[in-house]
Chain A
Amino acid sequence: MASFQLQINGENRAVNVDPNTPLLWVLRDHLSLKGTKYGCGIAQCGACTVHLNGTAVRSCSIPVSAIGNQPITTIEGLSENGDHSVQKAWVELDVAQCGYCQPGQMMSAAALLKANPNPTDEQIASSLNGNLCRCGTYLRIKQAVKKAATL
């Protein structure tokens, strides 16, 4: 066990956990931030995507000890009122089916748009290729990313 001071969604959060604990489980079990999802645990599905220093990362595969003071953003902190352009576009285009993969998809999309405000279809597909959607909402996700780029 060790203590860590994490910068999450603009707040300072302290946890006392095994240093090998993946960030995903720190978020879900210790900080009750359950928007970040578990899907595979091996960086293959993207359900656990969060921003670390503004970059999309798979929180299931990053031990809490590797984070230091780099800021973390989760879906709960993407915007204060759920009105990030990506969130607005997702609601507008009625993207979700079951919805389970969507926080991860949106975190990947938000990071993409920050780095590249006007991505092409190919750029969207390749940036989001690590985010599985079992319900098959890929087309709406692509349309929503393009829509978000205009908001």
Chain B
Amino acid sequence: MSRTESKLSRRNFLKSSALAGGGLMISFSWLVSCNSKREEALGLPEEWFELNGFLKIGDNGLVTIMAPNPEFGQNVTTSLPMIIGEELDVDWNKVIVEQAKFNTDVFTRQFAGGSQSVRQGWVNGLREAGAAAKYMLKEAAAKQWGVSASDITTKEGVLSHVASGNSAGYGEMASLAVGIEIPETLELKKPSELTLVGTARKNVRGKDIVTGKPMFGIDYEEEGMLIAMIIHPPAFGMRLKSFDATTAKQMSGIKEVFTITSFPNDEPRGYFSTDAFTETVVVVGNTTWEVMQAKKAVRVEWEQSPATQITTAGFGGTQQVTVPAGLENSTDHYRLMQQMAARPGRIERRDGNPEAAFKKAAKVIERTYTAPFLAHNAMEPMNFFARVTDDMVHLAGPLQAPEFAEQAVANRLGVPLEKVDIKMTRMGGGFGRRAYDHYVVEAALISRHMKAPVKLVYTREDDMTNGIYRPSYHATYRAALDENNNLIAFHAKAGGIPESPLHANRFPAGAVENYLAESWQIDSNITVGAFRAPRSNFIAGAEQSFLDEVAEAAGKDPIEFRLELLKRARENPVGDRNDYEADRYAGVLELVREKSNWDQPEEGVSRGVSAYFCHNSYVAHVLDVEMEGGEPRVKKVTCAVDCGIVINPLAAANMVEGAVVDGIGHSLYSYLTFNNGATEQNNFNRYRMIRHSEAPETIDVHFVKNDIAPTGLGEPPFPPVFAAVANALYKATGKRHYNQPYMVQQQISLG
């Protein structure tokens, strides 16, 4: 056992117990069960005993564990309760998982993003919650049996005292455990003592998903609920001028047509309150189809917006931002990016004397990489439910960042935070898009206006054309080799619309004597936001494609070349701000080399490698391409992942597989382009997404085994895919790919 400070103060635990009243009243039908057979076999408890805000134990031994964080497919509904259950020593077959309410008094960081749920949950309360409850049960048993608690052992929901021969299930001790004081420090397990963590456990919602249970936001319903849709401007740079809803209002099932303003320009906006189209026309009616029809019948006039000043709250304080006027085009974007790349950028890091090193180099390689805007396209379009009454704002729906949304709604409606209640539903995907809260604010404003419960639903077209995209990026790399093919200087200059993707302190910074990193950006009125592994999702592909080419120019094996650089970074690093551990980086490369049979070439198989570190985890991929009928086809991907302790290997492998498919799709097919401010794609007939027939046949996922505290997996396996694809395609076809998506490059990069 290792001792650790209990991260949750007693006050917090007691506070959560005091909230138990509410928690206990949740009816069983709402507890979507992990396994209905399980409850049938065990039956429902007569009474639940809440030991703290994270769990309660039934008198029959059934244990309910809260899944504190929002779920969008990263499987935290299973993995976070596993972390709690591990320290509690539960019998996992007797566990019911319940989605926790959004409640910042009890739970820390109820946020889905940054691949942080597992990482922060591990160090911030989940283990302590389980350990605290176990402590209470042991104390209760000790008192009951007249023995010392330190002699009591626990295993799979049973307390035992060997010397006296006493033993009891958790259910028998639960009532006696309630209210027992927990000490300032709690004992947590050492990695070698883990029994539940590290075992493959099926998604606790698996059965509900396959039977079509209404669990998503778009499925949410309340008595008397109306359906609302919004009409937003058809192009970035445009705004509402006027509308005529005479016809629409007379259509069947239509209640009202009016306008709302999500975020007034003169009020500061929250960090996730990005919104290009703040003034929109709202159509409210009885059913989705009726509202969709009426929407088409509203006659709206739009006009170009002038440049606008807005105030946004960043993590480092508020910021004045000017949103430029104008209707933008993708061809101009690419031209502007080329121009900016030709000028000196903002220097982000400089080691040694890069200029001199480039001058004396035997060989200089320079390449430029680009990527288009992308839409998130979560399969469940944006939607949210709101019921605003005089006393309360009730909200329910799919949301990654409820804490930010709560604040945004409270600000906009002018109500105190405690009057805003958010119910987190399962999300049909998020990928960053659902961290933003404009649709939550819109739903609340619509409900307040209608004085009725309302569900706001975006059509696919509304969703895809609304903004908050992955930015368009551009990066130019230069490398200098000496006459012995040593990398003596490295220069990265990267920018984008409207942000730079550069991470100046990432590999190969630290491994090259002379290093220069520069950034630039171009303003735009097209809104952008977090998209699975922000910035890394482009820069990893550029950097790792470039290193492949440099390795080739140096006449070295691409894995060997990277390992040499990492050796330098480990033994004699340049600078002290390097944002990676060279050992772990090399570890995934070595593992992927072994597992992919890198050193045993196969006839007809072309392999590409790529490795990246972001969001605290290390991932390397080797991608096998074969030519079929003259076309390259991704056959197999081998993945090596170092995310420390793996909580649930089954779900972890699923996450990596999904990220690989996602990366292949975005590198080869997906793009969003603009013509006069309007997106040229607004649904899946024009926006290309990867499909079944384009997925690889095999994805082979391997984890580095170590005892390092766990880190996340939602994002890290995604960025390195892009270069693995480009590098394998090069081996298969002899053609290097510099512009994403690789399969349609001339179409957008040159206009």
A residues lining the B interface (CB < 8 Å): 1, 17-18, 20-22, 25, 28-30, 32-42, 44-45, 47, 74-76, 78, 82, 86-87, 90-91, 94, 96-103, 106, 121-122, 124-126, 128-142
Chain B residue numbers with a CB within 8 Å of A132 are: 379, 684, 689, 691
Given A29-B288, A96-B205, A99-B426, 5 more pairs with CB closer than 8 A: A96-B210, A97-B655, A106-B210, A136-B658, A137-B654
CB of B460 within 8 A of chain A? yes
CB of B22 within 8 A of chain A? no
The CA-CA distance from A20 to B289 in the complex, in Å, is 9
CB of B645 within 8 A of chain A? no
A97 touches B690 (CB 8 A): no
Partner of B695, one of A42, A86, A90, A138: A138
Partner of A100, one of B206, B290, B428, B685: B428
A100 touches B429 (CB 8 A): yes
Known: A41-B460, A91-B207, A136-B662. A18 touches B289 (CB 8 A): yes
CB of B693 within 8 A of chain A? yes
The CA-CA distance from A74 to B287 in the complex, in Å, is 20
Q: What is the minimal beta-carbon distance from B76 to any residue of chain A, in angstroms?
A: 11
A99 touches B699 (CB 8 A): no
Chain B residue numbers with a CB within 8 Å of A29 are: 227, 287-289
Known: A35-B212, A42-B685, A96-B209. A18 touches B252 (CB 8 A): yes
Q: What is the minimal beta-carbon distance from B398 to any residue of chain A, in angstroms?
A: 9
Partner of A102, one of B209, B654, B659: B209
Q: Which of B191-199, B215-223, B498-506 contacts A (4 or more CB under 8 A)?
A: B215-223
CB of B698 within 8 A of chain A? yes
Chain B residue numbers with a CB within 8 Å of A78 are: 211
Known: A35-B211, A136-B661, A139-B698. A98 touches B380 (CB 8 A): yes
Partner of B209, one of A45, A99, A129: A99
Chain A residue numbers with a CB within 8 Å of B287 are: 17, 21, 25, 29-30
Known: A34-B212, A87-B211. A121 touches B697 (CB 8 A): yes
B202 touches A94 (CB 8 A): yes
CB of B605 within 8 A of chain A? no
Q: What is the minimal beta-carbon distance from A59 to any residue of chain B, in angstroms?
A: 12
Q: What is the minimal beta-carbon distance from B376 to any residue of chain A, in angstroms?
A: 8
Nearest chain B residue, comparing its CB with the CB of A91:
B206
Ordered nearest first, which 4 A-B pairs have the shortest CB separation?
Answer: A35-B212, A100-B428, A136-B661, A98-B73
The CA-CA distance from A124 to B279 in the complex, in Å, is 46
Chain B residue numbers with a CB within 8 Å of A32 are: 221
Between A and B, 18 residue pairs with Cβ closer than 8 Å are A29-B288, A38-B288, A41-B459, A42-B685, A45-B684, A78-B211, A82-B207, A90-B209, A97-B658, A98-B71, A98-B73, A98-B426, A98-B430, A101-B379, A125-B693, A134-B431, A136-B662, A139-B695
Known: A94-B202, A99-B205, A139-B696. A39 touches B379 (CB 8 A): yes
Residues of B46-96 whose CB lies within 8 A of A: 71-75
Partner of B650, one of A82, A86, A94, A101: A94
B289 touches A141 (CB 8 A): no
Give a binary string over B659-675; 1 marks a CB under 8 Å from any A CB, 0 the rest: 11110010000000000
Q: What is the minimal beta-carbon distance from A138 to any residue of chain B, in angstroms?
A: 4
Give a binary string over B267-295; 1 marks a CB under 8 Å from any A CB, 0 the rest: 00000000000000000000111100100
Q: What is the minimal beta-carbon distance from A134 to any residue of chain B, in angstroms?
A: 5
A25 touches B289 (CB 8 A): yes
A103 touches B660 (CB 8 A): no
Chain A residue numbers with a CB within 8 Å of B429 are: 98, 100, 134-135
The CA-CA distance from A87 to B219 in the complex, in Å, is 20
Known: A76-B212, A131-B692. A42 touches B683 (CB 8 A): yes
Chain A residue numbers with a CB within 8 Å of B427 are: 98
CB of B214 within 8 A of chain A? yes
CB of B495 within 8 A of chain A? no
Chain A residue numbers with a CB within 8 Å of B650 are: 94
The CA-CA distance from A40 to B660 in the complex, in Å, is 24
CB of B381 within 8 A of chain A? yes
B210 touches A82 (CB 8 A): yes
Nearest chain B residue, comparing its CB with the CB of A21:
B289
Partner of A40, one of B71, B206, B216, B684: B684
Chain B residue numbers with a CB within 8 Å of A99 are: 73, 205, 209, 215, 426, 428
The CA-CA distance from A21 to B206 in the complex, in Å, is 31
Interface size, B (range): 35 or more
Known: A18-B290, A94-B654, A97-B75. A45 touches B379 (CB 8 A): yes
Give a binary string over B422-440; 1 marks a CB under 8 Å from any A CB, 0 the rest: 0000111111000000000
The CA-CA distance from A42 to B293 in the complex, in Å, is 15
CB of B651 within 8 A of chain A? yes
A129 touches B380 (CB 8 A): no
Chain A residue numbers with a CB within 8 Å of B685 are: 40, 42, 44
Partner of B219, one of A34, A40, A76: A34
Partner of B654, one of A47, A75, A97, A125: A97
Q: What is the minimal beta-carbon distance from B283 to any residue of chain A, in angstroms?
A: 15
Chain A residue numbers with a CB within 8 Å of B330 are: none
Known: A37-B379, A97-B655, A99-B73. A42 touches B210 (CB 8 A): no
Known: A40-B683, A136-B695. A100 touches B380 (CB 8 A): yes
Q: What is the minimal beta-carbon distance from A2 to any residue of chain B, in angstroms?
A: 12
Chain A residue numbers with a CB within 8 Å of B459 are: 41
B658 touches A135 (CB 8 A): yes
The CA-CA distance from A87 to B49 in the complex, in Å, is 34
Chain A residue numbers with a CB within 8 Å of B211 are: 35, 75-76, 78, 82, 87
A133 touches B698 (CB 8 A): no
Chain B residue numbers with a CB within 8 Å of A142 are: 692, 695
Q: What is the minimal beta-carbon distance from B639 to any residue of chain A, in angstroms?
A: 12
A38 touches B218 (CB 8 A): yes
CB of B624 within 8 A of chain A? no
Chain B residue numbers with a CB within 8 Å of A74 are: 212
Nearest chain A residue, comparing its CB with the CB of B663:
A136
B207 touches A135 (CB 8 A): no
The CA-CA distance from A35 to B71 in the complex, in Å, is 18
The CA-CA distance from A99 to B210 in the complex, in Å, is 8
Give a binary string over B240-269; 1 marks a CB under 8 Å from any A CB, 0 the rest: 000000000000100000000000000000
The CA-CA distance from A76 to B211 in the complex, in Å, is 6
The CA-CA distance from A106 to B209 in the complex, in Å, is 11
B210 touches A100 (CB 8 A): no
CB of B610 within 8 A of chain A? no
The CA-CA distance from A134 to B427 in the complex, in Å, is 12
CB of B203 within 8 A of chain A? yes
The CA-CA distance from A99 to B378 in the complex, in Å, is 11
The CA-CA distance from A77 to B648 in the complex, in Å, is 32
The CA-CA distance from A39 to B658 in the complex, in Å, is 19
The CA-CA distance from A101 to B683 in the complex, in Å, is 16
Chain A residue numbers with a CB within 8 Å of B735 are: none
B693 touches A126 (CB 8 A): yes
CB of B143 within 8 A of chain A? no
Known: A90-B206, A136-B665. A129 touches B73 (CB 8 A): no
B73 touches A97 (CB 8 A): yes
Chain B residue numbers with a CB within 8 Å of A138 are: 661, 690-692, 695
Give a binary string over B291-307; 1 marks a CB under 8 Å from any A CB, 0 the rest: 00100000000000000
Nearest chain A residue, comparing its CB with the CB of B684:
A44
CB of B139 within 8 A of chain A? no
CB of B705 within 8 A of chain A? no
CB of B537 within 8 A of chain A? no
Partner of A134, one of B207, B378, B655, B696: B378
The CA-CA distance from A142 to B238 in the complex, in Å, is 45
CB of B335 within 8 A of chain A? no
